[in-house]
Amino acid sequence: MKRICLLIVLFTALTINMNAQDEFFNSPNYSQIEANVKEQSSSYYYPNLLKKYLDANSEMTLEEARHLYYGYVFQTNYVPTDTSTYNNKLAITLSRGSFTPSDYAEILEYSNALLLQDPFNLRALNAKLLVLAQQNKPDEYKKVAQQRSIVQNAIVSSGDGMTEKTAFYVIKVAHEYDILPFLGYTYGGEDKILRGNKVNYLSLGENRFGIERVYFNITPVIEYVNAHGGGKM
């Protein structure tokens, strides 16, 4: 019953937010995605997908969104380890609760800096939306909201997060935490990588589904860390 309720929520999110004719819940085939995003004649050629994303093109299909998000791991600037000082700066400013015009300027500055390092940083996108709503900039708000939907829908199309085998696939550990509110969850305090696996789980706070944990496949992150001799995930 828990799984049925969650599936309904995820399916509704996908069909409302995107042009989703593709198969529902499909784990990414990284080798095929790599070939597609590197082929200049492909409709999934990465520079074209990235431009479409940055333009917040509302016609982007779910499969294009998946190639955009998961194909990022094959770009030279992919760095899944968390090294940016802007994360802490943004968190400090957001923790103030009420904001001055100077605070809003800082939030935009830090968010934009984070998005240059990780264009799919949901925390930064959410922070920008907070400022744009306050500043009453509907056109810019709509653009950032569309970008956020593209990222969210790519992730939730990859699984249901209920088991190791049906885990959500993410390309950065931070994306695990940032997708939780979209799913209706709060973090419960436990983050554990399963032994001998490329899957980890986050425990959840009390929720309407009665679900205790959600699983994420972090294969590209583990491979990157192993190849580069470690790093903070």
Which of the following CATH numbers is that of domain 86-151: 1.10.260, 3.30.519, 1.10.3470, 1.25.40?
1.25.40
Q: Which positions of the chain have pLDDT values less than 70? A: 1-24, 230-233
Element (H, E) at 155: helix 138-156
Under 8 Å between Cβ of 1 and 162: no
* Domain residue ranges of the chain, discontinuous segments joined by +: 86-151
pLDDT digits (tens, 9 = 90+) for 112-170: 999 999 999 999 999 999 999 999 999 999 999 999 999 999 999 999 999 999 999 99
96-131 burial, b if ≥16 CB within 10 A, otherwise e? Answer: eeebeeeebebbbebbebbbeebbbbbbbbbbbbbb
- pLDDT at position 228: 85
Which residue is it, tokens 């593209």?
150
* Count of CA atoms in the C-beta half-sphere (13 A) of 144: 22
- pLDDT at position 205: 97
- pLDDT at position 22: 45
Helix (H, G, I), strand (E, B) or coil at 98: coil
- pLDDT at position 171: 98
- pLDDT at position 156: 97
